[in-house]
Homo-oligomer: A and B are copies of this chain.
Amino acid sequence: MMQVLRGELRERELPFTHQREAIAQILFESTRHMSADDVAAALRQRGEHAGKATVYRTLALLVELGLATEHDFDEGFKRYETQVGAAQHDHMICTECGQVSTFTNPELDRILAEVAAEHGFEAITRQVKVFGTCSETASCRDAQQAYRSVRSTS
A contact set with B: CB distance below 8 Å: 70, 72, 74, 92, 94-95, 101, 103, 105, 107-108, 111-112, 115-116, 119-135, 144, 147-148
Output the nearest chain B residue to A135 by Cβ-Cβ distance. Answer: B120
Q: A130 — which chain B residues lie within 8 A by C-beta?
A: 112, 115-116, 121, 123, 125-126
The answer to whether B95 touches A124, judged by C-beta atoms less than 8 angstroms apart, is: yes
Q: A135 — which chain B residues lie within 8 A by C-beta?
A: 120-122
Given contacts A124-B132, A126-B130, 17 further A-B contacts (CB under 8 A): A72-B72, A72-B74, A92-B121, A92-B123, A94-B121, A103-B115, A105-B115, A107-B107, A112-B130, A115-B130, A116-B130, A116-B132, A119-B134, A121-B130, A121-B132, A122-B148, A124-B133
A-B contact pairs, 23 of them (CB 8 A): A92-B119, A103-B115, A103-B119, A107-B111, A108-B115, A112-B128, A115-B130, A116-B130, A120-B134, A121-B130, A121-B133, A122-B132, A122-B133, A122-B144, A123-B130, A123-B132, A124-B132, A125-B130, A125-B131, A126-B128, A126-B131, A127-B127, A127-B128
Number of copies: 2
Output the least CB separation between A40 and chain B (Å): 21
Output the least CB separation between A77 and chain B (Å): 12
The answer to whether A123 touches B131, judged by C-beta atoms less than 8 angstroms apart, is: yes
Output the nearest chain B residue to A124 by Cβ-Cβ distance. Answer: B132
Question: Complex: how many Å from CA A49 to CA B129?
Answer: 35
| With A105-B111, A107-B107, A111-B105 as contacts: A124 and B119 at CB distance below 8 Å | no
